[in-house]
Every structure is written in C-alpha cells, then in structure tokens.
Amino acid sequence: MIDLKGSIRTIPDFPAKGIMFRDITTLLLNPNAFRAAVDRIEEFGRSRHIDKILAIESRGFIFGAAVADRMGIGLVPIRKAGKLPGKTIKYEYTLEYGTDSIEIHADALHPGESVLVVDDLVATGGTLEAACRLAEKCEANVGGIAVVIDLAYLPWRDKLQGYDILSLVRYDSE
C-alpha cells in the first residue's frame, strides 16, 4: 500500500507565518502515489454511479481530469467568476470577510445527473459547499465529494453535512 501522506510535503510558514502548507506537488512527482490517489477516487466515483466529475480550480483539475478520463465521463471545470467563456451559471458564497463566486458553463450539467466533486484539499469547506450548491442549482445530484487532503482540525464538517465524502489523507493537527 502506498503511503500517500508520506508523499505530501509540508512547508512551514507558507503562504503566511504560522501556516503549515500541505504541498501535493511531491505526490504528483511520485507516479505510484499519484496513481494510488486516482485509483481510490475512481473507485469511490464508480461505486456512486457518477455521470460527470466537477473539478475545482485549480488543483482539483489534476485529479478530476485523471478520474474522468479513466471513467470515460465528462469533466466540468469549476472556475472563479469571469474565467469561463460563454454563458455561465454562477454561485456566490460568503467568506470570513466578504464574498466570492464560482461558475460553470450553463450547458455543462443536466437535471438528474450524478456528479462527483473533486478537489485537492478541504479546509473550511466553503468552496466545496459552493460547488455542491452550484450543482444542485443545476438540478444535478451530488453523488459524493473526493479530496486528497482533509484538514480535520478545521471546522468544515457542518458545511458539508449530508454529503458522502472521501478523503485520502487526514491531518488532525497543524
């Protein structure tokens, strides 16, 4: 069994003093670790009969694209507002100090489709919650959420309560 946690580098004081940044680039450099991560997300998606992958900008694209390719299903990029060409659907959400928004193409999802939301990390849960709400706004069903890293010591669970979540690596403390 591949040690995914051992494949993730921790960088102290990045991007600010006191933060322990969990860097997936070292996992990406290890083809066995990357393959193992994609394997587990794929297995989770298949068990939920997913129609499409919703991948969150930007590191979620890496894992989401690989899983979508393996499963032979579409990939829907979720991007910050103003980054997608054409007609989009937007979801605005509240941050600690202000608001942010994400978008998908208006024709990306259809009512009743089942989606797997993929990102590299869950911290506060705000972006993942917004992605789920955006899918639901399009009348799609969120079949699950998959993240590589779970910062379990941060309060994200209330925001994502009711969703089936796969996390591959858990950090219980900073």
pLDDT digits (tens, 9 = 90+) for 70-88: 999 999 999 999 999 999 9
Q: Which of 42, 48, 59, 129 is catalytic?
A: 59
The CATH number linked to 120 is: 3.40.50.2020
The pTM (predicted TM-score) of the whole model is: 0.96
Mean pLDDT computed over 15-36: 96
Q: Please state, for a pLDDT cut of 90, what percent of the chain lies above it.
A: 93
Assigned domain for 129 exists: yes
Assigned domain for 16 exists: no
Name the band, by pLDDT with cuts 50, 70 and 90, for residue 64. very high
Name the band, by pLDDT with cuts 50, 70 and 90, for residue 11. very high
* Active site annotation includes 35: no
Name the band, by pLDDT with cuts 50, 70 and 90, for residue 1. confident
Assigned domain for 4 exists: no
* Active site annotation includes 174: no
Q: At 95, is the secondary structure helix, strand, or coil?
A: strand
φ, ψ dihedrals at 19, nearest 5°? -95, 135
**Structure tokens of 64?**
């989401």
Range of the domain at 66: 49-171
